[in-house]
Amino acid sequence: PQNSQNGPQLDGNQLVAKSLSRLGVTHMFGVVGIPVTSVATRAVSLGIRFIAFHNEQSAGYAASAFGYLTGRPGVLLTVSAPGCVHGLAGLSNGMANTWPIVMISGSCDQKDAGRGDFQELDQIEAVKPFSKLSVKARDIKEIPGCVANVLERAVSGRPGGCYLDLPTDVLHQTISESEAEELLTSAAEEQSQLQKLSSGSGNVVSSDVERAVSLLREAQRPLIVFGKGAAYARAEDELKKLVETTGIPFLPTPMGKGLLPDTHELAATAARSLAIGKCDVAVIVGARLNWLLHFGEPPKWSKDVKFILVDIDKEEIDLRKPELGLVGDAKKVLEMINRNIKDDPFCLGKSHPWVEAISKKARENVLKMEAQLIKDVVPFNFMTPMRIIRDAILGVGSPAPIVVSEGANTMDVGRAVLVQTEPRTRLDAGTWGTMGVGLGYCIAAAVASPDRLVVAVEGDSGFGFSAIEVETLVRYQLPVVVIVFNNGGVYGGDRRSPDEITGPHKDDPAPTSFVPGAGYHILIEAFGGKGYLVGTPEELKSALAESFAARKPAVINVIIDPYAGAESGRMQHKN
């Protein structure tokens, strides 16, 4: 807009887009509509890639995974109230997984708030339990500063979610270009100040590093555990150095897999119970001692184990009360540990009884699993197709595909069978065990790592949460192959015993069942993608070979025996 008195003018939409672009945002995920459509189109015209979804939930999951994969906040754009509420799924998922995400939502006119305006909600309050910071730009002049603030806070300290509220009236206000320029410059300065403040290595003192090294040196059965916080910190080189100079066995969490290759000779993955049950000192890097690691307690862990925790978040360390806590960035803390070891190196060596015990157990377990995997079982169980998929993924070589995994049995079996050889190549249901993340994660992975193929291995239930986003795959022509393990429902459809099938609605389908033999492959064909229906090893191999080579959106519908697999996967005790 042009205003004759004050020279060229910008409106709020333009200023939001300019602020995002100036402060380093390259991608956005979202669903447009009143009042934010123009924010998206302006952002695109400034060179930001906007990936438009069908549902804010998937867009939010995508933004959270983008934050994890790139180390920069994933930005989610939504409309007011209902859009914001749908987006909470992504924001909260980012918080739970400690991934940086910024949700930006339009909101109703400030003067009409409280009077039942169109799509009215107190969004600042609604997002509070799911964010580190929530701010509202109450005037156009506040926009650049607010954008800088949320982007920075999302990545500082423990990464997480931040929220920015943009009232409709603020998006329609105007400001002169010259004033906007001044505000943008000072926001960029503020951003770099904040970056400097948060770039230290935390509060780690050298005496603590020394203590950590001497605990490891004196341990009889040391173990190095690492998780997605270490992956986020890009600590792979430092971990490799630590493991290889000391000869200490290591155990990745599900998303830590790949920081060091699963095939590494010191990998304790296949001897997990022995490793955690018998270790006497465990250094835990960027992973929480939560349910995924059995809270660090007996009977899974020995009661005398000494934990050394490395985490960016002091509160996390205070919560777990370890033998020793090192608060700081995983990469930097490991660098300090490696430097300390270098002065007086030690290495367990292959013939150390602990290393031998772990590698013997791992070898035995791998052989046991291979014996199960090698059989071609038709109709498919979970193992046979998973082996074929594993081999196809390994056949791609480097850069390795990013694997997205969700479902109960599909994710459990996949975690054990699929092999990760490169960092940050596995995305799964994560800390919250969130189902429905698959398609959003696939899209984020494909745009964050354009040189990698993306392969989703998911249950039919997980796929169904956001199946319409296959249209998004086709629209952007993303190199994503979605493999659906189709067993006709949650845990495999109707598994009720006859005495459970009573009452006036006994003829309804079971709460766990979907239409048997659903044609998920046809869904993507409706939009011009490629679909495959497979039920035998030959059909699956051929579909994988063709779709991996094509690097185009595809859905492979793999028909699984509904009686294969267990209810609730390996979490039966909780259902």
Nearest CB to ligand ADP, comparing residues 201 and 421: 201
Look up tokens 């998303």; give the residue. 255
Q: Is 330 in the site for ligand ADP (CB under 6 A)?
A: yes
Identify whether the C-beta of residue 257 lies closer than 8 Å to the C-beta of residue 426: yes
* For ligand ADP, the closer CB: 152 or 329: 329
Sign of CA dihedral 324, 327, 329, 332: negative
- The answer to whether 288 contacts ligand ADP (rule: CB under 6 A) is yes
Q: Which member of 83, 256, 492, 569 binds ligand ADP (CB under 6 A)?
A: 256
User: Per rule CB under 6 A, is residue 228 in the interface with ligand ADP?
Assistant: yes
Stretch 301-320 residues interacting with ligand ADP (CB under 6 A): 311-313, 316
Q: Are strands 7-11 and 2-3 parallel, antiparallel or unpaired?
A: antiparallel
| Between 76 and 293, CB nearer to ligand ADP | 293
Q: Exactly one of 155, 183, 287, 559 binds ligand ADP (CB under 6 A); which one?
A: 287
Q: Which of 70, 98, 156, 384 binds ligand ADP (CB under 6 A)?
A: 98
Q: What's the closest the beta carbon of residue 79 comes to ligand ADP, in angstroms?
A: 30
CB of 155 to ligand ADP, least distance (A): 9
Alpha-carbon span 442 to 505, nearest angstrom = 38
What tokens appear for 562 in the block? 């509904």
- Cα–Cα distance, 563 to 489 (Å, whole number): 11
CB of 331 to ligand ADP, least distance (A): 7
Q: What are phi and psi of 165, to 5 degrees?
A: -105, 130
For 140-199, the DSSP string reads GGGHHHHHHHHHHHHHSSS--EEEEEEEHHHHH-EEEHHHHHHHHHHHHHHHHHHHHHTT
Q: How far is the CB of 283 from ligand ADP (least distance, A)?
A: 12
Element (H, E) at 9: strand 7-11
Residue number of the CB closest to ligand ADP reads 229
Which of 44, 48, 194, 292 lies at the binding interface for ligand ADP (CB under 6 A)? 292
Query: Least distance from C-beta 424 to ligand ADP, angstroms?
Result: 11
In 465-570, DSSP assigns E strands to: 480-486, 530-534, 554-559
Stretch that binds ligand ADP, among 32-40, 237-245, 288-296, 336-344 (CB under 6 A): 288-296
Q: Is 410 in the site for ligand ADP (CB under 6 A)?
A: no
242 makes contact with ligand ADP (CB under 6 A):
no
Residue type, 558: V
DSSP lists the bridge partners of residue 105 as 78, 165
283 binds ligand ADP (CB under 6 A): no
Q: At what angle do helices 56-70 and 81-97 cross, to 10 degrees?
A: 30
Query: Helices marked H in 233-312 — which ranges?
Result: 236-246, 272-278
Site residues (CB under 6 A) for ligand ADP?
A: 97-98, 158-159, 227-229, 232-233, 253, 255-256, 286-288, 290, 292, 311-313, 316, 329-330, 431
